[in-house]
Amino acid sequence: MRAERNWRVGLIGFGLAGAAFHAPVIAATPGLVIAAIVTSNASRREQALRAYPAARVFADAAEMFAGATDLDIVVISSPNRTHIPLALEALAAGCHVVVDKPLAASVADAVRAIDAARARKKLLTVYQNRRWDGDFLTLRQLVATGRLGRVFRFESRFTRWRPVPPTGWRMQPSPEDAGGLLFDIGTHLIDQALTLFGPVTHVYAELDRRRSGVEIDDDSFVALTHASGVRSHLWMSALDAQPGPRFRVLGDQGAYVKFGMDVQEERLRNGADPSAPDWGEEPTDLWGRLGTEGESEVVRTARGAYGEFYRLLVSALDSSGAPPVDPTDAVATLEIVDAAQRSHARRQVIGMPSR
């Protein structure tokens, strides 16, 4: 389907998130044009100019807003503490806004941005790209079609082996930086659990620091009790030398067990083209199994589709429709992040207010 117009995008941040997870997907989406890129790093500036020669590259966001007045959309992939100030600035400039997850470091700031977008009648959405992981798309279909029967337990793991801590803002302990795995990987896992099984009534969390000198959580567990009765157990770790299954989902008619991470991240990191015909296809040896101990079948993993986020964004803008991710979903995720932090501090289960 042909887009009605070309929407001009300003991308703030050209580190890993901007250069790998946003720019190539935006560039591959009909109806979107990368018109401006913001990076203060000299080598990244050169990289941006090589990859997107038609874009203007600015040293900071203020320079972009002053010099690129014809932007339609601003995509924010800069450090977490800058998300809300930049989102408010972009909205004030009359732009629609995409913010990389997490939307904010606090619920109050997220609500402030949503209110500002509504007041200016602009679209605000959050880049929860892992709603379009191939294995998650597969699981959504299995749940929706009743292949598992009544689901009662959802186990989700996103773990890595990173024994040497990196440097940078993600490792900073200040609340404004929203560092640590709970704000990073955790916001993906929580969003997926909410998407599958709905609102949460109780939260329990263990947010540990395992690596020497680390001041933020790097080995964490969050347990959610959903109003539907499903229990979600979510693991995130930088110290998992032998990862368990990515998904283990139990129902009264069978289980779905899936190992290995979605292939799109690695391919984007390696510079692959997200418009390639085989994009998102997973090797057969990573496909999951559905069934029981005595009888199970291999389930082909759906093709991963990170580009669907930006395709839905264009559709929403062309038709004044709903955004690909409702920003109020990000508020629900941040409410659970806050409850998880309180649960860890108090060593107790935290009840969530009813909606």
**Is residue 85 domain-shared with residue 219, that is, in the same domain?**
no
Give domain status of residue 319, yes or no: no
**Is residue 162 domain-shared with residue 247, that is, in the same domain?**
yes
Closest among 158, 134, 139 to 262, alpha carbons compared: 134
Give domain status of residue 326, yes or no: no
pLDDT (tens digit per residue) in 3-59: 568 999 999 999 999 999 999 999 999 999 999 999 999 999 999 999 999 999 999
**pLDDT for position 236:** 98
**Is residue 146 domain-shared with residue 285, that is, in the same domain?**
yes
For residue 321, CA distances in Å to 75, 98, 250, 317 come to: 19, 15, 36, 7
Alpha carbon distance 282, 286 (integer Å) = 7
Structural domains counted in the chain: 2
pLDDT (tens digit per residue) in 128-171: 999 999 999 999 999 999 999 999 999 999 999 999 998 888 88
What mean pLDDT value characterizes the chain?
Answer: 96
Give domain status of residue 177, yes or no: yes
Give domain status of residue 111, yes or no: yes
Neighbours of 270 (CB within 10 A): 8
**pLDDT for position 355:** 67
At 197, the amino acid letter reads F
Give domain status of residue 323, yes or no: no
Domain enclosing residue 50, as ranges: 7-127
End-to-end alpha carbon distance in the chain: 38
Alpha carbon distance 18, 166 (integer Å) = 19
Measured over the CA atoms of residue 333, residue 339, residue 340 and residue 342, the dihedral's sign is: positive
Measured over the CA atoms of residue 34, residue 99, residue 302 and residue 286, the dihedral's sign is: positive
**pLDDT band at residue 354, thresholds of 50, 70 and 90?**
confident
- CATH code (residue 108): 3.40.50.720
Give domain status of residue 259, yes or no: yes
**pLDDT for position 1:** 45
pLDDT (tens digit per residue) in 44-74: 999 999 999 999 999 999 999 998 889 999 9
Instruction: State the DSSP code for 133.
Output: -
